[in-house]
Amino acid sequence: MQPHYELRPVDVSDLPLLAKWSSRPHVARWFGGAGPDADELNDTRIAMWIAMLGSQPFAYIHDYDVHAWSPHHFDFLPPGSRGIDMYIGDPELVGLGHGSRLLRQHSDVLMSRGAPALGIDPHPDNHAAIRANEKAGFVVVSGPTETQWGRVLLMTRNPNRPQM
C-alpha cells in the first residue's frame, strides 16, 4: 500500500527545521542551502508545506503562481498554473520513492483544485529528481536553460496530456 502524506502549512516554528534541512548536503547542493524566512511565509504567491510521514516531518514542498513573477520561464503555461519545488529533508528517506509519490499526490490535489498545468524545474544534473518527477507524471518540455534562478530543465504536467 502506498503511503498517504499529510501536508500542513509551514509556520514560523518550522523555520529552524527548514534551515537544518536546507543546510544538509543532499539539499544544499540543489537549493543553495537557504530555507524560507519569516518574510516569505507571508508571501501570498507561494503556498509552503511540510510533508508528514505518519507523525514525522520529512519533506518540504511549495507551490507558487508562475505568473506572479515576470518574466518567468513557465510563462508559456496557461493562467492559474502552478510551479512546484520540493525536497526530502530527512536523508534516510531519500531514494525510497517518497519524492515521486509526494509530488504525484500534491500535483493531483493542485489539478483537482483547478490548476490547468504544473511546472517543475530541476537542475539538469539532478538525475534523481528528474526521474522522480517523471514518475510523478511530469515530462521534459525544454532542454537545459538559464533562468534568473539558475540552470534548469523545464518539466510540465498537463491534465490534457495522458499521464504515465
| Among 104, 99, 93, residue whose Cα is nearest residue 128 | 99
Q: Cell 538559464 maps to which residue?
A: 146
Asked whether residue 161 is assigned to any structural domain, the reply reads no
Domains identified in the chain, total number: 1
pLDDT digit string (tens) for 11-54?
Answer: 999 999 999 999 999 998 888 767 788 888 989 999 999 999 98
Q: Tell me the C-alpha distance between 155 and 123, whole Å.
A: 11
Asked whether residue 140 is assigned to any structural domain, the reply reads no
Q: pTM value?
A: 0.91
Asked whether residue 29 is assigned to any structural domain, the reply reads yes
Domain with 30 in it: 6-116
151 bridge partner residues:
146
Count of all residues that appear for the chain in the document: 164
User: pLDDT at position 36, please?
Assistant: 84
Asked whether residue 95 is assigned to any structural domain, the reply reads yes
The CATH number covering residue 112 comes to: 3.40.630.30
Asked whether residue 147 is assigned to any structural domain, the reply reads no
SS3 of residue 7 by DSSP: strand
Q: Cell 509530488 maps to which residue?
A: 103
Asked whether residue 141 is assigned to any structural domain, the reply reads no
Sheet (strand 6-9) strand order? 6-9, 46-53, 56-65, 82-88, 118-120, 150-157, 139-147
pLDDT greater at residue 21 or residue 143: 21
pLDDT digit string (tens) for 55-105?
Answer: 999 999 999 999 998 888 999 999 999 999 999 999 888 988 899 999 999
Average pLDDT rounded to a whole number, residues 108-130: 95
Asked whether residue 127 is assigned to any structural domain, the reply reads no
